[in-house]
Amino acid sequence: MTKITRLSQLDLNETYSYADYLTWQFKETVELIKGKVMLMSPAPNVKHQRVSMNFSGSLFNFFKRKKCQVFAAPFDVRLYDRKKSILVNEDIHSVVQPDLCVICNPDILDMQGCNGAPDWIIEILSKGNSKREMQIKYELYQESGVQEYWIVYPNDQAINQFVLDESGRYQLKQMYTDDDMATPHLFPELALDLTEVFEIWTEE
């Protein structure tokens, strides 16, 4: 197999698997969506990282010593149709790195990351996130069976909360803003104060 050390060696029109992904040794960070290489946005800005760290701190404290575990990017999550059993690397064609994810089934965790759908995914938007990219991920998470999906808008200080219904389709359960208390559908005893999540900062 040809050693891939530069992104330019890949054919972006080609379809790749997770087995291919594991051999890539270039510096760029990419995700694999249904076999297609997707370049990730440049490094997140300060606002994105502060919101991410505020979420991380709250979730870490809540899930500490509980069965469910929280993970932050970079962390590989391998996804596929929820109707399928756990797949081998050659049969997996989607690998993403959510900003934050919560996983309650230890059987889908291995040394490489997560092999299957997390229970809850949080994506924090950056300027580089395109509408197309977000639509693709929305559909992928829905198809893969991610039970709850939050899209966070740091600039607007808002969150859209999506939850899978009985038919396996996302429904917009709640739109949180500003100083609301945001509560995950899966973990109703957790209340996140958005004043703290979107803390006031001095623009650089």
Which helix (H) or strand (E) element contains residue 153? Answer: strand 148-153
Q: What is the pTM of this model?
A: 0.92
CB of 160 closer than 8 Å to CB of 172? yes
Burial class (CB in 10 A: 0-12, 13-18, 19+), 48: buried
pLDDT at res. 200: 60
- pLDDT over 90 (residue 129): no
Name the most confidently modeled range: 48-52, 58-62, 131-135: 58-62
Cβ(36)–Cβ(12) below 8 Å? yes
Is residue 204 predicted with pLDDT exceeding 50?
A: no
Q: Give 132's pLDDT tier (boundaries 50, 70, 90).
A: low
Determine which of 21-25, 83-87, 147-151 has the lowest per-residue pLDDT on average: 83-87
Cβ atoms of residues 176 and 161 within 8 Å = yes
133 φ, ψ (degrees, to nearest 5) = -60, -45
- The ranges assigned to domains in the chain are 44-197
pLDDT score recorded for residue 130: 65
Binning pLDDT at 50, 70 and 90, where does residue 202 land?
Answer: very low
Cis peptide, bond prior to residue 74, ω within 30 of zero = yes
Residue 157 to residue 166: CA distance in whole angstroms: 30
- 168-198 residue pLDDT tens: 999 999 999 988 999 999 999 999 999 999 9
CB 77 within 8 A of CB 113: yes
The pLDDT tens digits of the residues spanning 92-124 come to: 999 999 999 999 999 999 999 999 999 999 999
Give the sign of the dihedral formed by CA 119, CA 106, CA 84, CA 94.
positive
How many Cβ atoms from other residues are within 10 Å of residue 88's Cβ? 10
Express as a percent the part of the chain with pLDDT over 90: 75
CATH 3.40.50.261 fits 44-197, yes or no: no
